[in-house]
Amino acid sequence: MSNPSNPLNAARYLLSAHTRTQLPADAGAEVAFAGRSNAGKSSALNALTGHNALARVSKTPGRTQQLVFFQVRPDQHLVDLPGYGYAKVPLELQAHWQQFIDQYFASRHALRGLVVVMDIRHPLKDYDRQMLGYAVQRGLPAHALLTKADKLGRGQQAQALQAVRKALAEAYGDGVSVQTFSAASKQGVEEARAVVMGWLALL
């Protein structure tokens, strides 16, 4: 049974795409999730949807090697993008992902927004900036989740949030919003869910 108070709870695995021809029809609305391999992206997806294991939480970071589509409704999807960082993959596969994601961001009409998941203790790495750049270039809204906030005290969280907000404003103007988040303590889950549901027109 899905949870009526959380429409994202209806999310189910649909397909994994390794090439453009495997993508579902470019219709409706979808929200993409990006994050370095150890940033807590799978945990964030699970927390937002209210599932324990919708996105695999792997002890070996970097297991997402395709675009993974989760269907919320027939024309509404969440998309888990490949993680980088600790992913032990051949350079040619990384190059393939790079080209695939370039094309996806450049041409995907259904894409409504991007969530970039980053560890609050190590934010705005090159990969994070690259992904945010894709969204801003397309004129899409982006939202940064500073995950694992429970690892820091409240004062440290506030400092980190302020520093990232300032850096984002300098780099991207007002196109990127940011919040603290913890899948473990559920901090910020409702706020992030509202952003995603707004982009999917579920509110």
CATH assignment at residue 137: 3.40.50.300
For the cut 80, the answer to whether the pLDDT of residue 62 exceeds it is no
The candidate with the shortest Cα–Cα distance to 119, out of 132, 131, 128, is 128
pLDDT of 110 reads 98
Size (the chain), residues? 203
pLDDT of 51 reads 94
Q: Residue 162, class by beta-carbon neighbours within 10 Å (0-12 exposed, 13-18 middle, 19+ buried)?
A: exposed
- 177 inside domain: yes
Q: Which sign, positive or negative, has the C-alpha torsion 150, 151, 156, 160?
A: negative
- 2 inside domain: no
CB 23 within 8 A of CB 68: no
pLDDT, one tens digit per residue, over 82-127 is: 876 545 678 888 888 889 999 999 999 999 999 999 999 999 999 9
pLDDT, average across residues 188-192: 98
- 79 inside domain: yes
pLDDT, average across residues 57-62: 54
The candidate with the shortest Cα–Cα distance to 133, out of 25, 50, 34, is 34
Confidence of residue 5 (pLDDT cuts 50, 70, 90): confident
- 125 inside domain: yes
The count of domains in the chain is 1
**pTM, rounded to two decimals:** 0.93
User: Which range marks the domain in which residue 172 is found?
Assistant: 7-199
pLDDT, average across residues 58-74: 76
pLDDT, one tens digit per residue, over 27-43 is: 999 999 999 988 999 99
- 165 inside domain: yes
For the cut 60, the answer to whether the pLDDT of residue 1 exceeds it is no
Q: Is 58 left (phi over 0), alpha (psi -120 to 50) or beta?
A: beta
- 1 inside domain: no
